[in-house]
Amino acid sequence: MKNKGAEYIWFDGKFIEWEKALIPINTHALHYGTSIFEGIRAYKSNNNLHIFKLKEHMERLFRSASIYSIKINHTIDEMVDGTVQLLRKVNMRESCYIRPLSFVGVHGIDLNVTYESPTHTFIIVFPFARYFQTEGIRVGVSSWRRIHDSSMPPIAKSGANYLNSILATQECKRNGYDEAIMLDKNGNVSEAPGENIFVIKNKTIFTPDMASSILEGVTRDTVIELAKDLGYTIIQRPILRSELYIAEEIFLTGTAAEIIGVVSVDGRNIGNGKEGQITKKIRNTYNEIVTCNNNNEKYKGWTTEVW
C-alpha cells in the first residue's frame, strides 16, 4: 500500500478520516520501534467478505503486547468488532488486508516502557490480492541470522523485529531471488522474512519448531491442522540447511503470502522445479476454506462474515 487504502481508519476506538490520523514526531514508537502489530486477510466470496481467523490474530496481538509490557486499551472483542465495523464503514467489498497496530505514544526519550506508558491502537484496511504473483518462487539463504529469544523475542510480532527481516529481504533481492530463507543462531532453518517454512521429504512434512526462532504463525498453525486432516504426517523439529537441497517440496506460509511453493533454493531446483503435488493440495484446500467454499463443518468457524 503506497497510498491510503480507505477513507477512514479505526483509531483508539473511533472512526477518523485518513487525513486526520496524525501522530506527534516525538512518538516513542518512531524513535525506538515500540510497536506490535498483526496482518489479517479478508476474502471476497459468495457475495460477502470473510475475515480469516480474526479473533486468533487479535489474541496474538495481545500476547505480543504482553511480552513488551505495551498496554492495549481495548479488549479482544472490541478489536474484533472494531475491525468488522471499519470494513462496513468504508464499504469494503473486495479482498483486503487488515493491519491492527498498537504503539507507545509520547513517553519521553527513556526506555522504561511500562503498562503506565501512553499507548494508542489503530486498524487500517486496504484492498489486497496476491503477494507473490506466481505459483512458485526462487529463494536464497540469507547471510543474516534470524533474531533469537535471548536478544529479541521472535514470538512477538513487533515492529522492531522486522528490521532483521528487511536486511534479509534486501540481500535476497540484490542477489536476484524472490524471497530469503533465514537460519537461526545455530545454523538451522528458521523462517523467511515474513513467512514460515515447510519442507517435504518421503511424503512427510517437516517444519521448524518453536526453538528455531520462528514466529508462531496463524497460517502455520492452520496448515499443520489441515495437513493432518488430509492424512499427512507433520513433524516439528530443527531442520538443517542442507535438508533444503534434498527436499521433494518446500512451501512458505503467511497471511500475506498465503501458501506459496518454493521451486529453487540457492539456484538448486526443488523436485522438478515446479509447485509440488502436496503443496498444491494443501494450497487448494486452504483457498477453499478462506473463501468459504469448503463444506467441512470443522472449518466454518474460522471465518467472520462482514456483510
3-state secondary structure 231-296: CCCEEECCCEHHHHHCCCEEEEEECCCEEEEEEEECCEECCCCCCCHHHHHHHHHHHHHHCCCCCC
Which residues carry out catalysis? 157
In angstroms, the Cα distances linking 45 to 254, 269, 278 are 20, 35, 25
| CA–CA separation, 258 and 200 (whole Å) | 18
CA distance 170 to 175: 9
SS3 state at 97: strand
Q: How far is CA 205 from CA 88, 156, 163, 304, in A?
A: 40, 25, 30, 29
Question: Which residues make beta-bridge pairs with 15?
Answer: 10
Instruction: Evaluate whether 55 touches 100 at the Cβ level (below 8 Å).
Output: no
**Grid cell in block for residue 232:** 499427512
What Rg do the C-alpha atoms of the chain give, in angstroms?
19
CA atoms within 13 A on the CB side of 81: 8
d(CA 305, CA 83): 11
3-state helix/strand/coil string of 3-16: CCCCCEEEECCEEE
H or E stretch covering 60 = helix 54-67
Per DSSP, the three-state class of 77 is helix
